[in-house]
Amino acid sequence: MTTAKQLFSLQELDLVLDRIRKVTQKAEGELNVGIGMERLEEELQGEKTRLAEFQSQHKTQQQDSEAQRERSTRLDEQLYDGSVTNPRDLESMEQEATNVRNALEKVDAQLAKLGLRAEESQGRCDDLEKQLAETSSTWKKRRTELEEELKSSNAEISLVASQRDEMAAILDPASVQQYENLRRTKGGLGVAMVERGLCQACRMSLPTQQRQKVRSAHLTVLCSSCGRILCTT
């Protein structure tokens, strides 16, 4: 006959397995996440793309600026070298020179704005690269620790699971099934110890008759409050 003490011992092994598996799952999750490495890499790649766009726009604007500046210089030379004497032509050329200077001012203002944006973007890239380098160094050390932790945990799980299977094999299958069903519905605790007349799972006081039945160890007694299998030392 399977006793409550035997089921309690089985539960002790199950609780150890629960604890180790929880640690294992946490370590596996941390390994998969990689301490934010992917997030930093994606953020850096996005910033590099923006920087390249600013630099491309700056180059285009710079070429436009140089072309406008050359045009402005040629117009000024024509205006003041005496080669144009017709008043109407001079007036038209002066208006064109003014338009070119105005356009050049706008281009130079846009150049300055793009230069500032590129400088700020480059700063963000530098900061992200530094963070990535620091995180990468920290992650390499942490990854080694996690891999060792997983190796140890998996070995421990294998050992405890083997012990658990051996114990379950010598117990009454119906009793084991009842215990496992309770564990699933009672937050991992299918068996509860009785101490000082209290169920240690729900902390409720047990009737005298129920305490006597638990001490006899000949029957499976369920807590009248929480429904767990009761056990006593």
| 199 pLDDT above the threshold of 70 | yes
| 83 pLDDT above the threshold of 90 | no
| 206 pLDDT above the threshold of 80 | yes
Under a CB-based contact definition with an 8 Å cutoff, are residues 7 and 175 in contact? yes
| 180 pLDDT above the threshold of 70 | yes
Under a CB-based contact definition with an 8 Å cutoff, are residues 104 and 65 in contact? yes
Confidence at 6, pLDDT banded by 50, 70, 90: very high
For the stretch 118-122, contacts whose Cβ atoms lie closer than 8 Å and that sit 24 or more positions apart, written own/partner, are: 118/51, 118/54, 118/55, 118/58, 121/47, 121/50, 121/51, 121/54, 122/51
Q: What is the pTM of this model?
A: 0.60
Q: In angstroms, rounded to a whole number, what is the distance separating the alpha carbons of residues 149 and 128?
A: 30
Higher pLDDT, 219 or 198: 198
- Structure confidence by residue, pLDDT tens digits, 40-72: 888 999 999 999 999 999 999 999 899 888 988
Q: Could you tell me where in the chain the CATH 1.10.287 domains are found?
A: 34-169
Confidence at 2, pLDDT banded by 50, 70, 90: confident
> What's the whole-number mean pLDDT along residues 143-148?
90
Nearest-10 crossing angle of helices 173-185, 4-33: 50
> What's the whole-number mean pLDDT along residues 157-181?
95
* CATH 3.30.950 applies to domain 34-169: no
- State the pLDDT at residue 68: 87
> What's the whole-number mean pLDDT along residues 211-224?
84
Lowest mean pLDDT among 82-86, 109-113, 154-158, 207-211: 82-86
